[in-house]
Amino acid sequence: MRVATWNVNGLRARLDYLTHWLAARQPDVVGLQELKTPTDDFPHEYFADLGYHAAVHGQKSWNGVAILSKLPLETRQIGLPGQDDFGSRLITATIDDRLLFSTVYCPNGKTVEHADYQGKLGWYDDLTQHWQAEYELPAILCGDFNIVPEPLDTWRGASGDGGIFHTAAERKAMQRLLDKNLIDLYRNQYPEEQAFTWWDYRGGAFHRKHGLRIDFLLANQLGVQAAKDVIIDRDYRRKIDGLTASDHAPVYADLDL
């Protein structure tokens, strides 16, 4: 089973590009973030024609998450409890009764001085409280976490410490979540590798290798045991057939499930 996460930066703007990627990589389950589309406007029939069921938690203009699945899926949770005011940022489903799959779009925080920064930390605390340390199924928690876990995960290295996405408080919040028996699949497979999942659109950041690793596939122990290979799909951060990419690359893993 191939599972993936991708912040598409606008579902409607990315529909042709996303379709190209689905055809090329043939993922079984995809967590999408930043739909910027209301739930009722989600193009279910379009994805059905591509062979995907969908569970959707959308919103006008901003945020919005969804799960695409070739296998039957059953929605388990829509929205992070207690955090409705922060937008549509979490959806969870079981896939074919074999996998618990949750995808999140964690708040950005804007700047360390902004009120949203404290809100981001609170949102993380609620996510950590919501996530169970033990699931009977293999479980994946994936998405755009908007935190750089360690200096290796940013082009700025240790000189980035203290800036938004790079603060000690954010890293502790991330660690408390990981302490719920979650493993970062990419970092687990590549302990020393520097690889990014996001590059600013501006200033040729992609070609200058000025990126961040902020999109993760986290897994419980059963999920880690099933994981075979993890790929950060940098090819799909480039323009393809004149189509503009998201500023995030997809990340996918093959699970022996």
Partner DNA sequence: ATGGCTCTCGCGGAGAGA
Residue among 65 and 257 whose Cβ is closer to DNA: 65
Least distance to DNA from the beta carbon of 29, Å?
21
The reply to whether 5 sits near DNA by the rule CB under 7 A is no
Position among 10, 79, 119, 122 found at the interface with DNA (CB under 7 A): 10
Toward DNA, which CB reaches closer, 13 or 71?
13
Among 153, 211, 145, residue whose Cα is nearest residue 182: 145
Task: Choose the catalytic residue: 17, 28, 52, 105.
Answer: 105
In the annotation, is 144 catalytic? yes
CB of 72 to DNA, least distance (A): 29
Helices (H), the chain: 11-25, 44-49, 115-130, 168-178, 185-189, 221-226
d(CA 211, CA 214): 9
Cα radius of gyration rounded to whole Å, the chain: 17
Contact status: 65 vs DNA (CB under 7 A) = no
Q: Scan for tokens 């699931």, then name that residue.
A: 135
Subset of 147-206 contacting DNA (CB under 7 A): 164-165, 198, 200-203
Q: Which residues contact 101 (CB under 8 A, 6 or more apart)?
A: 3, 29, 31, 67, 69, 73, 92, 93, 94, 95, 139, 140, 142
- Name the β-bridge partners of 73: 95
- For the question of residue 117 being annotated catalytic, the response is no
**In this chain, which of 46, 62, 82, 228 binds DNA, going by CB under 7 A?**
62
Q: How far is CA 204 from CA 7, 166, 190, 247, in A?
A: 19, 22, 26, 11
Terminal Cα-to-Cα distance of the chain (whole angstroms): 6
Closest to DNA by CB, 96 vs 119, is 119
For residues 38 and 58, what is the distance between their CA atoms, to the nearest angstrom?
5
101, HSE (Cβ side, Cα atoms, 13 Å)? 32
Among 77, 189, 221, 244, binds DNA (CB under 7 A): 244
Site string for DNA, 24-43 (x = CB under 7 A): ----------x-x-------
Q: Which of 17, 117, 124, 144 is catalytic?
A: 144
Output phi, psi for 112, to 5 deg: -65, -20
Binding to DNA (CB under 7 A) within 116-145 occurs at 116, 144
CB of 213 to DNA, least distance (A): 10
**Residue from the set 29, 185, 214, 217 that interacts with DNA by CB under 7 A:** 214
Residues forming the site for DNA (CB under 7 A): 7, 9-14, 34, 36, 60-62, 107-108, 110-111, 116, 144, 146, 164-165, 198, 200-203, 212, 214, 244, 247-248
